[in-house]
């Protein structure tokens, strides 16, 4: 019997209050959901997007940049960029 589970993706404001919730199946990779979360919740006054190391990718950082928000995401150890400006 296969194990069925789900993941809860949560966007919070600066005070930790939930502002967006997305439920996905366990097989859906986080990177497939994060751009939707950023685009749907980032507003003009958003200055920073903070996320865990699992969300470190050039695509996600580019999405943040398009939304005029700074990315505060720890860099994965296998990140292949020489960009010293990343966190």
pLDDT given for residue 1 in this prediction? 44
Q: What is the pLDDT of residue 79?
A: 61
Each domain of the chain, given as residue ranges in start order, spans 29-78
Question: CB within 8 A of 22, min separation 6: which ones?
Answer: 8, 9, 10, 33, 36, 37
Q: pTM of the entire structure?
A: 0.61
Only one residue has tokens 């404001």, namely: 13
pLDDT, residue 58, reads: 79
pLDDT of res. 87:
46
Neighbour tally for 7: CB within 10 Å: 15
pLDDT in tens, the chain (87 residues): 446 789 888 888 888 898 888 899 988 887 778 878 877 777 777 788 888 887 787 777 777 777 777 888 888 777 665 555 554
């Amino acid at each position: 019997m296969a194990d069925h589970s789900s993941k809860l993706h949560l966007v919070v404001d600066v005070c930790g209050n939930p502002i967006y919730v997305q439920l996905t199946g366990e097989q859906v990779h986080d990177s497939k959901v994060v751009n939707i979360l950023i685009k749907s919740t980032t507003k003009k006054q958003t200055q920073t997007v903070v996320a865990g190391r699992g969300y470190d990718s050039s695509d996600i950082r580019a999405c943040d940049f398009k939304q005029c928000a700074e990315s505060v995401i720890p860099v994965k150890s296998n990140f292949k960029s020489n960009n010293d400006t990343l966190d």
